[in-house]
Amino acid sequence: MSTVKKKYKKSICIACKTEELSIIRDFVQFWAASYGFSQLDTNKITIAVDEVCSNLIKYGYKDIEGKEICIKIEFIHKDFIINITDDAIPFDLTEKPAINMDEYFEKFKKGGLGIHIVKSVMDEIKYYPSNSKDKKNTLRLTKQLL
Amino acid sequence: MTNNNKLEICFRSNEDITIIELIGFLDAHTAPEFENSLKNAIDDGIYKIIVNFKKLDYISSAGLGVLMAFIEDIRLKDGDIKLAELSDKVYAIFDLLGFPMLFDIDIDENISLNKFKQQLG
């Protein structure tokens, strides 16, 4: 397994297009499975990253062409960490209030499910907006391998 | 080159019930196709719909959002969107968000069909 880990890159960048989401999913799925997450957890981590990238493409970049999203995987102790960087207008999803799903269904609400998924499946979410030193925003998602 | 960003949508009918079969991947890229299919069906006066997920490999919130976009209107017209034959992987996402609270989810398409037919009777 260590040979596999050394052979493959732990970072990837995609063009800001929804058709490239599958590349991100393949990449995250490969690494999560390689580090020993169950099929269920691998799927959860994959969808969380998909949701973040989908939101970036749709709302962050508003389908502007020529932009990219980069993903870097780290594994520190038992923490599987996914860093997602972009240069869109900063948006901190951790500040969005939690959705009450009972109310959501009762009122047939729309939108916001992607962020709810990310918050539901990841153990830790940290956001570092762009600043004078670093022009990129970084969202850091962590899932612990139990 | 990866091919896991495609969605195929097939339509079948059983009496006045329409079955929409989803094949492949339902994400932010392909959700507009599903949305158009559902919208066209509803615009054509089809209010009894079963979505068969048997051959769907992946769903993200974009796909769930399409179902949320139409369920209220279709129920106001005495119809429903029933969901059938979800794989464990796809069901896990519905379950994560509590969708079984709002949607009728059956393990077999025939169960969904019978529910509609019993309502008709």
Which of A29, A39, A47 to substitute to test the interface with B, most B CBs within 10 Å?
A47
As a whole number, the mean pLDDT across chain A is 92
Query: Where residue A22 falls among pLDDT bands split at 50, 70, 90?
Result: very high
From CA A51, how far away is CA A115, in angstroms rounded? 7
Residues of B in contact with A19 (CB under 8 A): 5, 29
Mean pLDDT, residues A113-126 taken together: 97
Q: Which of A21, A26, A108 sits opposite B27 (nearest CB)?
A: A21
* Res. A84: pLDDT tops 90: yes
> Model-level pTM greater than 0.90?
yes
What per-residue confidence (pLDDT) applies to A117? 97
Smallest CA–CA separation between A6 and chain B, in Å? 22
Range with lowest mean pLDDT among A95-99, A120-124, B105-109: A95-99
Q: Using 50 as the pLDDT threshold, list the residues of chain B that sit under it.
A: 1-2, 121
Closest CA in chain A for residue B75: A108
ipTM score assigned to the predicted complex: 0.93
Tell me which of B1, B3, B5 to substitute to probe the interface with A (most A C-beta atoms closer than 10 Å). Answer: B5
- Tallying the residues shown for chain A, one arrives at 146
Residue A17 has pLDDT above 60, yes or no: yes
- What are the backbone dihedrals phi and psi of residue A118, each rounded to the nearest 5 degrees, phi first? -55, -45
- Does position A3 have pLDDT exceeding 70, yes or no? no
Buried b (16+ CB within 10 A) or exposed e, B59-96: bbbbbbbbbbbbbeebeeeebbbbbbbbeeebbbbbeb
Contact B49, B41 (CB under 8 A): yes
Question: Hey, are the CB atoms on A21 and B28 less than 8 Å from each other?
Answer: yes
Query: Which residues in A lie closer than 8 A to residue B92 (C-beta atoms)?
Result: 40, 43-44
